[in-house]
Structure 1
């Protein structure tokens, strides 16, 4: 009795390779490459029409900034030039000097005491001198008399002081004229004027 040989049967698998899905993936990849190439062509490559169009708005604001910068420079330069201009004379305030301070008698005595002492000494020299020597001494005494008149005396003796200095100056002028003429001179009148001034200030 012969053995029964196994029977070979060809069976097809249930799953059929899905070639449509493969083509879909390949198509999407190709589309992505095409889109990337198109974007590079339109936007990224040098000289692209859309790239120059997008660059134009960015250049316009930079051009519009320069007039504002020049205007701000002009405005900043204009105020800086104004302070350098000299003010008009009419704008200068007119200030009145403060009234002179009324000095005390002690302070005034200290100011004029030296000149009054020199007056007595100078008159003694004039009395013993002749000619130009006497004239030179009298000129010195007259300069001192002018300084005495320029001092501000206390209000209590101001009028008497000015009157006494005026009298002393007039007598010195007469004394100089006599000394210049070479005639004999008398210093008594000038000396009495000096003594009156010294008594007025308490010397």
Structure 2
């Protein structure tokens, strides 16, 4: 009896498809990833790149009013600096000179003695003169009387001194008028007023 012919098994491998398309796909994806990384680095990570403003990324708060009015967290209002007061001009204190000290009678007598002695001599010259010669001497005596009035007498004799000096000046003015008009000259009244001045200071 003939034995059945056993079937013969043959391994058949499928034809390998070319892998070239897959390689190009991988290369393209890698190139795209590198390009994206370069762009990100250039925009955000390179030195000197502008940083994103955190204020622009803040989300609006839930309680914000729909009217769009600025919230309390807006830029604070600048408070103007208080005006600087200009310094007031300094006033220079006005110093008053001290009051003159009250001289003693002896010291005052030493001040006036020379003029009072010259007055005696001047009246003697006027009694013996006339016209222009007499008026020039009288003008000298009147000038000396003005200098006596500028002195400060002691308070103890001030009132008497001022009265006597005023009388003496009036007598000299009358004597000057008489001499300039050509009238007779009498020095008796002037000598009497001068004598009162000398007695007040003890001469």
Secondary structure of the residue that 1:91 maps to in structure 2?
A: coil
Matching of residues 126-141 of structure 1 within 5 Å: 126-141=126-141
Question: Is 1:151 aligned to 2:143, yes or no?
Answer: no
Q: Deviations over 1:145-192 (max 9, x none)?
A: 011111111100001101111110011000000000011110000000
The residue aligned with 2:41 is: none
The residue aligned with 1:165 is: 165
The residue aligned with 1:16 is: none
The residue aligned with 1:21 is: none
| Consecutive unaligned residues in structure 2, runs of 5 or more | 1-88
The residue aligned with 1:193 is: 193
TM-score (ref. length: structure 2): 0.55
User: Considering only aligned residues, what root-mean-square deviation do their CA atoms show, in Å?
Assistant: 1.4
Q: Deviations over 1:70-108 (max 9, x none)?
A: xxxxxxxxxxxxxxxxxx6x6221111111110011110
| Consecutive unaligned residues in structure 1, runs of 5 or more | 1-87
Rounded to whole Å, the distance in 1 between the matches of 2:105 and 2:156 is: 9
Q: Deviations over 1:21-56 (max 9, x none)?
A: xxxxxxxxxxxxxxxxxxxxxxxxxxxxxxxxxxxx
The residue aligned with 1:180 is: 180
The residue aligned with 1:23 is: none
Matching of residues 105-120 of structure 1 within 5 Å: 105-120=105-120
Rounded to whole Å, the distance in 2 between the matches of 1:188 and 1:179 is: 14
Rounded to whole Å, the distance in 2 between the matches of 1:91 and 1:192 is: 54
Instruction: Select the structure of larger CA radius of gyration.
Output: 2
Secondary structure of the residue that 2:103 maps to in structure 1?
A: coil
The residue aligned with 1:96 is: 96
The residue aligned with 1:77 is: none
Matching of residues 38-57 of structure 1 within 5 Å: none
Secondary structure of the residue that 1:99 maps to in structure 2?
A: coil
Rounded to whole Å, the distance in 2 between the matches of 1:146 and 1:140 is: 10
TM-score (ref. length: structure 1): 0.55
Which structure 1 residue ranges, 4+ long, deviate > 2 Å from structure 2?
Answer: none
Rounded to whole Å, the distance in 2 between the matches of 1:121 and 1:171 is: 16
* Residue 139 of structure 1, CA deviation: 0.3
The residue aligned with 1:19 is: none
Rounded to whole Å, the distance in 2 between the matches of 1:195 and 1:127 is: 16
Aligned residues: 116
